[in-house]
Amino acid sequence: MKSEFEFIETIRRRYSLSKIGDDCAVMPKDSKTDLVMTTDLLVEDIDFRLDWTTPEFLGHKTLAVSLSDVAAMGAKPVWAMLSIGVPQKIWKTDFVEKFYDGYYRLTKKFFVEIVGGDISKTPDKIVIDSIVAGEVKRGKAVLRSTARRGDLIYVTGSLGGATAGLTLLENGVRYDDGAKIWQRNLLLKQLSPFPQIHAAQDLNEKNMATAMIDLSDGLSSDLAHLCRASKVGAKIFADKLPLHKNLRAIGKSFDKKLDYALNGGEDFELLFTVNSKKKFQFKNELKNHNFSHIGEVTANAGMIELILNEKSLVLEPKGFRHF
């Protein structure tokens, strides 16, 4: 069975859809500015479960996943549209109001204006559609397709926390007074991720990122997307991956923690490449950000190597897929 990524590529080729292929579509706004736009669909019991989250957390995450796409383009988010379909039993509660509260609070943090949306009724499950637009200087959007051999590979923040949080939820832990501090930290990575808007804008303003993608499906899969678009390969060093500090509290083996970091998804950090000639300039000008150098771009197109215990392994994309 074909994956959703193969289906999208088929549609892109069949209808010559040139603006598909990045985290956002890029369209000209005026002589100085480009508009970037993204849309995200969240479906109950596929992308979230009501017994795991709160309406406020869900509203926050709905916007955060779209803001992360805008960040991956190096753009500044400016407006959003939100549509939601809910069953009658949910409509009769205060769920929708609390959901919008969570969404709205995050718009205020990044000065994003809600300009529209829609509300409808569904038979039994909640369905959410989030659309966000951002702005970037004309021709300055950071694409997936512009990494080059020899570029250095970096990520923001830490990896694996969201998947560890998901594991806790699956095991019955909830974000409440009974949760330990380290459990709460991991649960927040899953339930209330924070998009890396400021880091992305700094990278773009200083002309540092040669290519970029957000880590939504998992590093192994998202790096594969970037390499495919750029027609390059990559080498990743396992000992350089910034594992979330609270992973050590969950009592899993190093291999399991590594799996969380490589394949888990929903960390909503950024993976980006930097010209190796700018290595020292990059360190000096962006030293206030939490960036980790994890590998390098190679000429071996389509091949991603994982260096683990001085051995080279093929890193297959094993991140999240709907189909």
3-state secondary structure the chain: CCCHHHHHHHHHHHCCCCCCCCCCEEEECCCCEEEEEEEEEEEECCCECCCCCCHHHHHHHHHHHHHHHHHHCCCEEEEEEEEEEECHHHHCCCHHHHHHHHHHHHHHHCCCEEEEEEEEECCCCCEEEEEEEEEEECCCCCCCCCCCCCCEEEEECCECHHHHHHHHHHCCCCCCCCCCHHHHHHHHHHHCCCCCHHHHHHHHHCCCEEEEEECCCCHHHHHHHHHHHHCCEEEEEHHHCCECHHHHHHCCCHHHHHHHHHHCCCCCCEEEEECHHHHHHHHHHCCCCCEEEEEEEECCCCCEEEEECCEEEECCCCCCCCC
166: in domain: yes
pLDDT at 20: 76
Indicate if 165 and 307 belong to the same structural domain: yes
CATH number, domain containing residue 281:
3.90.650.10
Per-residue confidence band for 94, with pLDDT thresholds at 50, 70 and 90: very high
Q: What is the mean pLDDT of residues 254-264?
A: 95
Expressed as residue numbers, the domain containing 171 is: 152-314
212: in domain: yes
- Tally the domains of the chain: 2
Indicate if 180 and 271 belong to the same structural domain: yes
pLDDT at 58: 98
147: in domain: no
Indicate if 235 and 163 belong to the same structural domain: yes
Indicate if 280 and 228 belong to the same structural domain: yes
168: in domain: yes
pLDDT, one tens digit per residue, over 127-186 is 999 999 999 999 999 999 999 999 999 999 999 999 999 999 999 999 998 999 999 999
Per-residue confidence band for 318, with pLDDT thresholds at 50, 70 and 90: confident
Please check the confidence at residue 300 and state whether its pLDDT lies above 90.
Answer: yes
Indicate if 299 and 182 belong to the same structural domain: yes
